[in-house]
Every structure is written in C-alpha cells, then in structure tokens.
Chain A
C-alpha cells in the first residue's frame, strides 16, 4: 500500500468510526430518531451513486443497469433471508457476489462487441433490468409475482435497535463503497478508465487493457450496488417487482452523479446529498394552494418534474457538475450556504434542521452553477485591462482553463 492509500484509509476509518457512535448519542443529544433513518437513506444513496459512478463516471460507458444490480441485491435478501431463513448478515455478501456475477457476465458479452460502445451499451443495460425483472416474476422461488414480506428476517441484533442498526449497516456499506471509488480513482485502474473515457481506441493502442479494466470496474460497481440493495430490502420491508425494478434507481443515480460531477469520487456524494435532502423535503411538504385555494399543486408530482428538469439543464449547460466548481470556489460556496440558512431562519423560524440545510444547499447551488463562467469572464477582463487591484498571482485565470 502506498502512502496516499494509507492516509485515505485512515481518514475514512476515523470518519466512519466517529459516525458509528452517532446512534449512541441520540439519547444524550436528544435529536429525533427520524434523523437516524434519514441518515440511513442518505448513506444508501451515497453507496448507490458512488457504485454507479465508479464504472460509468470514470469510464464514460453509460449504464442503466444499476436497477438490475440493486434489484438482485434486494431479492437476494428477500429469498435467502426471508424465505430460506438465513441471517441478514450472511445474505448481504451473497447479494453482492450475485450482482457482481450478473455484471461480469453481462460485461463479458457486451464488452467484446465493438458496436456496443456508447449509446447501444446504455440501452442494452436498460433492457437487462427488464429481463431480470421478468425472470424474478416467472420464477416462484424468487418472487412469482406476489411480492415478499420481510417481517421475519433475522436482523443483526448486536448492531442495536432498528434505527441504529440500519444506520450502522448503511454506514459500513457506504464507507466501503466510497473508499473503493476513491481508491480506484487514484489507481492504475482509475487512470485506465479515464483514458477509456477520453479515447478508447488510443488507450488500447497505448497498451491499456481496456477489456480487463472495464470488467473489473463494472464487476465492482455491480458488487457494491448489490450489497447496498440487500440492506435496503429491510428498509422497504415489502418488496415487489414493480417497485424494485422501476426506473427510479437508475434515474436517481444518474441525476445525482451528473449534478455532482462524474469525474471525481466526491461528485456523487455531493449530488446525492442535494437530491436526497431536496426530494425528502418536497415529499413531506404539504400541497401548495394557489389562486386562493382554487388550484392545488401536490409537491410529490413536482418532485419528478424537478429531477427531470435538473437532468436536462445539467446535461445541456453544466457538463462538469458541481464538485469542480465547489473546489475552485470554496468560500463562495460556503458563504452562499450560510446565507441560504440565514435567509431560511429569518423567513421561516420554525423550519426543521433538514429544511435549513436544503435552503443552504440551494443557495450554494444557485451561486456556484452559473457563477463560474461569469466570474471567469470578469477576472479575465480585469487582468487584461490591467486594473491595479487585479490578483497578480493568477494572471489570465478563466478562459484558458
């Protein structure tokens, strides 16, 4: 292990260990139990978005197959833990392995076909989710079409009561997944994947083992998606084919990663935080009544519209996502975040903690997304016109970047 890996490992372990004791602090600090479950779902989306991004974001091969891998994970818990009576802890690794097997066999077929680069690959992976769903529907050992209730699963009691247990399971899986994504990014595998993203033919002629790299990344991505799905089955508690294999999982991981930025492991984390907190608040918000109560707009429906609109805007206008902008303009982002929170506090003092957080996020997003170009242009203009207070240490920042 080289030094950066050791540093990263230490950092991740310390952070995870600190969060591990968060459920124990629930009593003394007196925050609502709901926050633990909210934390779990956030960690679930971290794991899903990171696992998707470690293949797609790095290699540029767009996979809609996340739904299939997640679904394999969910149904492994359903079949092994509920129907066969395995303990949950034993079913989780099996779920990861099964999802990885699905990913590797799919990759084995499609990565050998030159024609399947790009768009057709995306569509084939989308079709795979339908097929896995169809198999689960016809096979009575898996589902048979009636769904599975998970009320008899043997839960790992040593992790605490239900909310603490979910939080800790989510924490373990999210930490491992994010650590894997970060390690891949800085490894030979990551460099290989980025070179595939840039130009696969050139990468191959320079000796990058493209097939092996793609297989490894796709297998790992499927593995973590399966692990995280296996835990999430407990949270869903009644699993049906229609819900598990719906388009929601691929849609959300795509939007999260595109929003956060796909070429860095932090991108999906940032995107997942924003999307999850935002949709959570929208789901819980009461219906808006417009025009003196004549028109009622349910915010549930707005949810999907906002997600779709966000995807369109990001793809068309902000291709590199939020993370690179956040790195370049830390203080602008932090300032806008604080201003957002302050505005929310003044405007609606009774707003919950998550609501305030969302307000801060929105402030940062609104400032960071359009500002980059504007600030660059302004800096550029100042440095070329030779204004005396122009920052002398960064000549010509902007257009050249």
Chain B
C-alpha cells in the first residue's frame, strides 16, 4: 500500500506543476479566445534558460526564476500585442501558434541539441533532496512546485474575483463587445493577462528544469497532459486548473504504478474523453460561461 500512497503523493505534487503549465493556455483560451500553443515553448525555453544559468553560471536553480520570468513575460506580452495588432481569430491562433511552437522547438534544438540536458547535481542539490514524513517522501522540487502553484492559484483567484482588473477580465470573457462598450480596454487587459500567464509558464519551466532532464521534444509531449487539464478544469478557471492538475496527476501516477508508465497517457485520455462526453464545461466550474 505504501507504493500507492507514494503514487498518490507524487501525483498530487505533480498536479501543481501541471496546473502551472496549463494556466496560460486555459486563461488565454477562456478569456482572450486565443488558443496559444506557444506557452509550451515558453515553458521549454524557460527551462533551458534556467538550465543554462545554473550550469554555466553557477546560479542556484531557485534564483534563476528572477532572470527567466521577466524575459518570458516580455515575450508573452509582445506576442499578445502582435495578436491584437493582426486581430487574430480563435482558429487562426491555433495554427499560428502551432507554427510558432515548431519554430521555437527548432531553435531550442539548434542551441541545445536534441540530447537530454539536465542540471548537474553539483549545481542542483534539490533534485535528490526530499522531505520525509514516515514512509513517504516529498521530493523538494515537486513539493516547492506544488506550494508555488497553490500560492499562484490563490493570488490569481483573488486578482480575478476581487479586483477591478479581474472584473474587466470576467467581463471580457462573458461578452467581449459589451465589455468594450462599457469602456474595458481590451488590449491592456489582454496584454497584462498574457504577461501573468507567461510568468506562470516560466515558473513551471524553472521547476521542470530543476526536477528532470530537458529535450526539445518535451514541448509537444506536454500537450497530452496540459490539454486534459485545461478541459477538465474548465476554460479560464484558475482553481479549476489546480484541481484538474491534481486529478490528472493522481490518475497518471496510479496508472503508472498499477500497469506501468506507458499507461499514464491512456488514463489521462480516458478522463479527457469522459469529461467531453459528460461534463464538457469542466469539473470545477458551475456554468458553461467563463
């Protein structure tokens, strides 16, 4: 039983990371009506940035956040500004960001090659350390990622529910034209929101670099996790993404322990199809709006 207990723990902890990876896609799809696959490349490039700083410049992996996040935020905001400029539709955005994903993956491949890249253990003492409670281990990178995800989730929730900015975001999500008519500056809200989403993606990238090996193909592989989380959590829902991340993480971890790691994608896909069939608005939202 310890095995399953440990599987559930690592699933829950991974769920936090999944939520951070999915938040960008979920918010920009739900609120801005842009399916932005470029967030996958942001996560990947943030991870490589963190890897580079920790390996070649001896930064502490946690400190690399300070350098990586601002860069990714600027890129994310500029990309959104570009989308606003060309007035992109929901469907075109999927294709355009798909092209962008392929380009950035290729850039990563030409800089860091297709091999696995991992921060050496001398530069990254956290990878092998963990907090032990009884028989169960809480690896430091995953635990801190989970706690960060909760903090980010709560902050986002506060921002969206309690502030004027959040009101503007919700208004845009419900009815863009009406919100505009009432004086919501669509472009400003969109750029700020994309910046925040990009920051979350960058933080996720740093945690990924801390806990596992990087390779360019990851960006496409994450798709199998992020998409179920986004649908299950409900488009544009922050705490929904967190809950869905945990559900997907636990399901994948249990499937890995019970049948083998190759079964994890099957488990997440079954959950995805079941959600689409029976509760297309997501598990954690009350209504189909937002």
Contacts and interface: CB of A to CB of B under 8 A. Distances in A.
25 contacts: A62-B95, A113-B277, A115-B280, A118-B90, A119-B35, A119-B90, A120-B276, A124-B272, A126-B223, A127-B224, A127-B228, A130-B223, A130-B265, A137-B262, A138-B260, A301-B107, A304-B109, A307-B102, A308-B101, A308-B106, A311-B95, A311-B98, A311-B102, A315-B92, A316-B92
A127 B106 contact: no
B269 A127 contact: yes
Interface string A304-330: 110111111001100000000000000
A304 B102 CA distance: 7
Consensus secondary structure, chain A interface: helix
A66 to B, nearest CB: 13
Is chain B's binding surface mostly helix, strand, loop or mixed? helix
Given A120-B276, A312-B100, A135 B95 contact: no
Given A127-B227, A311-B95, A311-B99, A113 B262 contact: no
A303 B95 CA distance: 18
Given A138-B260, A138-B266, A301-B107, 15 more contacts: A109-B273, A113-B277, A116-B276, A120-B276, A124-B272, A127-B223, A130-B223, A298-B110, A305-B106, A305-B107, A308-B103, A308-B106, A311-B99, A316-B86, A316-B92
A246 B220 CA distance: 9
A119 B34 CA distance: 10
Interface string B180-212: 000000000000000000000000000000000
A251 B100 CA distance: 12
B250 to A, nearest CB: 18
**Which of B98, B100, B266 has most chain A Cβ within 10 Å?**
B98
Contacts of B106: 301, 303-305, 308
Interface string B219-250: 01001100110010000000000000000000
Interface in A259-300: 298
Contact of A311 (B86, B96, B220): B96
B91 A118 contact: yes
Given A305-B106, A312-B100, A134 B262 contact: yes
A315 B96 contact: yes
Contact of A145 (B90, B224, B262, B264): B262
Contacts of A161: none
Contacts, number: 106
A113 B99 CA distance: 28
Contacts of B264: 134
Nearest to B270: A131
A307 B103 CA distance: 8
Interface string A120-136: 10111011001101110
A290 B95 CA distance: 32
Contacts of B88: 316
A258 interface: yes
A254 interface: yes
Contact of B272 (A127, A254, A311): A127
B165 to A, nearest CB: 26
A115 B95 contact: no
Interface of B: 35, 86, 88, 90-92, 94-96, 98-103, 105-107, 109-110, 217, 220, 223-224, 227-228, 231, 259-260, 262-266, 269, 272-273, 276-277, 280
B95 A247 contact: no
Given A126-B227, A304-B106, A315-B99, A135 B94 contact: no
A316 B92 CA distance: 7
A301 B114 CA distance: 11
Interface centre among B99, B102, B265, B269 (most CB of A within 10 A): B99
B28 to A, nearest CB: 12
A311 B101 CA distance: 11
A251 B97 CA distance: 12
Nearest to B235: A120
A308 B108 CA distance: 14
A308 B91 contact: no
A165 B276 CA distance: 45
Contacts of B91: 62, 118-119
Nearest to B86: A316
B267 to A, nearest CB: 9
A133 B106 CA distance: 23
A127 to B, nearest CB: 6
- Listed residue (A127, A251, A316) with the most chain B CB atoms within 10 angstroms of its CB: A127
Interface in A135-163: 135, 137-138, 145
Contacts of A312: 95-96, 99-100
Which 3 A-B pairs give the minimum distances between C-beta atoms?
A: A308-B103, A311-B99, A304-B106
Nearest to B281: A115
Contacts of A131: 265-266, 269
A85 to B, nearest CB: 27
B276 A124 contact: yes
Given A124-B276, A130-B223, A301-B110, A316 B96 contact: yes
B95 A315 contact: yes
